[in-house]
Chain A
Amino acid sequence: MLQIKPILSTLMRNKSGPILLLIQIILSVSIVANASFIISERIDLMSRDSGLAESEVFDFRVYNFNPETDYGAQNGRDMTTLRNLPGVIGATSTSMTPLSGGGWMSVFTLGESEETAKETEGAAIYYGDEQMLKTLGVKLIAGRNFFEEEILQGSPNQANLGIVSQAFAKATWGDEPAVGQVFYAADFGQEPVEIIGVVETLQGAWVNNSSLENSVILNVELAFPFTKFLVRAEEGTLAQLKEAIPAALHRDNRERVVSGFKLISEHRKSAYRNHELMATVLSMMVILLLLITSLGLAGMVMFNIERRTKQIGTRRALGAKKRDIISFFLVENYIICLAGGVIGALVAVQLGQQLMSLYSLPQLELIYPLVTVAGLIVLTTIAVIVPARKAARISPAIATRSV
């Protein structure tokens, strides 16, 4: 019923056209499969949750350039100033900003004795105070927050209490409860830190780092000439706070530079910019490729119809229905598509292998070429059916007229 045999013999009679179409489909499948795989991989990366109230939290820097400044006391006063500004929900000094691409990271030491000591995975280190959790908007799921009187000032190595992210807790202590555990911020036995709480999600600064989800908050307000502050304020108030904050801080002390206001959502945008760029360019490529393939196919079918006008007319005169003519072109298309799809999928997997060995890309999942072939079949059906319907309208009379 599908008349595969006559279609095959038509294809064989004029090989160059179908072969070109075949090559085009093979290449399209292998490009589209790999491109869409990379796109979906990047989208997965970009959709990871940072755990923060991203559009409410922003950071900025204060540089106290008078060396006689008592940095600790100054920061304390600044924090009070910030927290009293209208619209501010929470504020803290910090060592780093999530997703910002710059910050502190270290491994810690674990163990019962010097011999059995081992290192943890790397984790981002946030030095901050009891308002850190509130400011970031992260969720505490075990243990407790710091108390105000537990916050120390000055050098980072005096930290003795920590709050860790769930991912870090899991990587370090497995299923054991993290609260109550101890790690050492330096070599074994030095600078012990007791874990008092666990937060659900808190990411570090580098989105391409494998330990992005590992974070530790330590109970120190750093006292350096450079201080970074995190502020959480009602959405949309940043523009106005950008003016109000430097003014308020300069009222207290003029010898500093206050700059670099940036929302976490903007940090996110810059952090993932390259991934987004890659995904965008590849999507553009996939869409255009499919467009070109189907336009080319439509052009070829149209040309075939013109060439075969006589045959089509004759077939119609001999009793073929319109439906038969359309199905002839469709089946012809499916034969080429399937053959091209199978070879294309194989080539796609090969190309994926090459990309994986040359660059740091994961292995291509088989579902991508399969979906691509399926998509191509749908698309080419549309590309074929339009000219084929035109062919079906050819009146039998035309065929007989010129003979």
Chain B
Amino acid sequence: MFFYYLDLAWRSIKKTPFLSLLMVLAISIGIGITITTLNIYQMASINPAGERSSKLFEVRLWSQGLDTWSRLNQQITYQDGFNLRKSPVPVRQTPMFMTGFAVQTDDPEFTPVLENARVTDRDFFGLFSVPFLYGGAWDKQVDSEPAYQVVISEELNKQVFAGENSVGNTLYLNRKPYQVVGVTKTWNPSPKYYDVNNGAFNDAEKIFVPYSLAPTEEYQSWGNNQSWRNEPMDTYAQRLASEAHWNQYWVELDNPEQIRAYEEWLANYIEQQKLLGRFEMPDAKAEIADVAQWLKVNKVVPEDNKILVGLSALFLIVCLVNMLGLLLAKFLKRAPEIGVRRAIGASQSQIFSQHMVEVGLIGFCGGVLGLLWAWGSLSLLSAHFELEDALTQLGYSMWVLAPSIAIIAALLAGIYPAWRICSTNPSVHLKSQ
């Protein structure tokens, strides 16, 4: 029966090509716009931590003085970063910040390149599940007893060591020799959730060096540095002892008990720091946010995207109303024909389902065409605005979503016209013929 209806639908579409084309156009444009905005929105709001999202927490501390910042800062100070490492509660934890180096090799012909780097602890790689191609992270010991060891990315390894297993080789960072202990497999979470301060869709760093080297090597901060008071920062020692916020801190907590225990530990830490004259605010507090909350706090999905999705949903409704009107026109025009069919025995429900199949077919065509529009507009947008590929790739889910939304929307729009046509009295039309 379904295929018979499909055949009928196709004939009916051919009979009124202009009206049918208008309907397919209307619904496809609606779908095209909706899928375009939805795709950008969805790609920006992906939670790259996946199932580990609820176990990883970013730590923020209210360390500012009275009458200064009125909100928790996204970052913490170096001294807090250094102290928090002493907590026994988290499964894994790491402070970190961004720096960068001029990279050289043993080859004197190699032109130095400038690369961003992350200063962090060994736990970084476990926390964020960084996959390794060769070797691995430096030893736990290095976090307390500094050693010149480095982990580099697959990409940099290709550039510098021609992609060979470079573990044990020497890499010069700002002229200092470092021993390569690991090469990570391509790893580029988007959004770059572990540090969104300098662009949530930037690439991950290609170089990782131990946090414990910071005091001796005086790594400059290449990220954001925020101060709530004036204090001398001419030397690196002053910077380390300052109240400036330029470090990030992540912990892994596996269960609610651990979360509670850690929050308690942080509260104690603040009390203890208060005795030392820091954390002047009476209601100074610590807050931890898991990855999903963290992305929200940082407004990783721009408000503009939400407005666009909202407006395009309304747009789709306009397209549907439009289609509803056209369907009504088309079906009512066919009323005499339906009158005959009813008279020779077609039941109301048969007429109804016949029309719904026709509407569904139109919806499907609209959905497929809409997907094409979306693909076209996304490519245009990404070419014109040099957007991150991560944002403008048509997600796989959209290939299913677009035709589904289109068919469902079309069926919704088709219910009333199909009901109107199947409930008309056949005698009226028979009489006039």
Same assembly: yes
Say if the beta carbon of A256 comes within 8 Å of chain B.
Answer: yes
Question: Do A23 and B321 contact each other (CB < 8 Å), given the known contacts A257-B114, A276-B385, A277-B385?
Answer: yes
* Nearest-Cβ distance from residue A245 to partner chain B, whole angstroms: 15
Closest B residue to A30 by CB, please name it: B314
Q: Contact residues of B with A, CB < 8 Å? A: 18-19, 22, 25-26, 29-30, 33, 36-37, 100-102, 112-114, 174-175, 198, 220, 230, 234, 302-304, 306-308, 311-312, 314-315, 317-319, 321-322, 324-326, 328-330, 332-333, 377, 381, 384-387, 416, 420
**Option from B308, B321, B332, B385 in Cβ contact (under 8 Å) with A27:** B321
Contact indicator per residue, chain A 254-298, by CB within 8 Å of chain B (1) or not (0): 011101000000000010011011101110110011011101100
Interface of B is mostly: helix
CB of B385 within 8 A of CB of A273, answer yes
A-B contact count (CB 8 A): 135
Q: Please give me the 8 A-B residue pairs with the lowest Cβ-Cβ distance, nearest first.
A: A303-B329, A65-B102, A296-B322, A20-B325, A257-B114, A65-B174, A359-B303, A186-B230
Question: Do A295 and B22 contact each other (CB < 8 Å), given the known contacts A226-B220, A276-B385, A281-B36?
Answer: yes
> Which stretch in A31-39, A49-57, A78-86, A316-324 binds the other chain?
A31-39
CB contacts (< 8 Å) of B22 on chain A: these are: 295-296, 299
CB of A17 within 8 A of CB of B325, answer yes
Say if the beta carbon of A327 comes within 8 Å of chain B.
Answer: no
CB of A257 within 8 A of CB of B307, answer no
* Nearest-Cβ distance from residue B319 to partner chain A, whole angstroms: 6
A16, A102, A187: most-surrounded residue (chain B CB, <10 A): A16
CB of A225 within 8 A of CB of B315, answer no
Q: Contact residues of A with B, CB < 8 Å? A: 16-17, 20-21, 23-24, 27-28, 30-31, 34-35, 38, 61, 63, 65-67, 102, 155, 186-187, 190, 225-226, 255-257, 259, 270, 273-274, 276-278, 280-282, 284-285, 288-289, 291-293, 295-296, 299-300, 303-304, 306-307, 355, 359-361
**Option from B314, B333, B377 in Cβ contact (under 8 Å) with A303:** B333
CB of B102 within 8 A of CB of A257, answer yes
CB contacts (< 8 Å) of B329 on chain A: these are: 17, 299-300, 303-304
CB of A66 within 8 A of CB of B175, answer yes
CB of A359 within 8 A of CB of B33, answer no
CB contacts (< 8 Å) of B314 on chain A: these are: 27, 30-31
Closest A residue to B174 by CB, please name it: A65
Interface of A is mostly: helix
**Option from A63, A257, A277 in Cβ contact (under 8 Å) with B381:** A277
B18, B101, B315, B333: most-surrounded residue (chain A CB, <10 A): B315
Q: Considering the chains assembled together, what is the distance between the CA atoms of A62 and B420 in angstroms?
A: 74
CB contacts (< 8 Å) of B112 on chain A: these are: 65, 255-257
Question: Do A292 and B322 contact each other (CB < 8 Å), given the known contacts A66-B175, A285-B315?
Answer: yes
CB contacts (< 8 Å) of A187 on chain B: these are: 230
Q: Considering the chains assembled together, what is the distance between the CA atoms of A285 and B310 in angstroms?
A: 12
Closest A residue to B111 by CB, please name it: A257
* Nearest-Cβ distance from residue B429 to partner chain A, whole angstroms: 13
CB of B37 within 8 A of CB of A289, answer no
CB of A24 within 8 A of CB of B307, answer no
CB contacts (< 8 Å) of A255 on chain B: these are: 102, 112, 175
A20, A24, A102: most-surrounded residue (chain B CB, <10 A): A20
Q: Considering the chains assembled together, what is the distance between the CA atoms of A288 and B102 in angstroms?
A: 50
CB of A63 within 8 A of CB of B308, answer no
* Nearest-Cβ distance from residue A107 to partner chain B, whole angstroms: 10
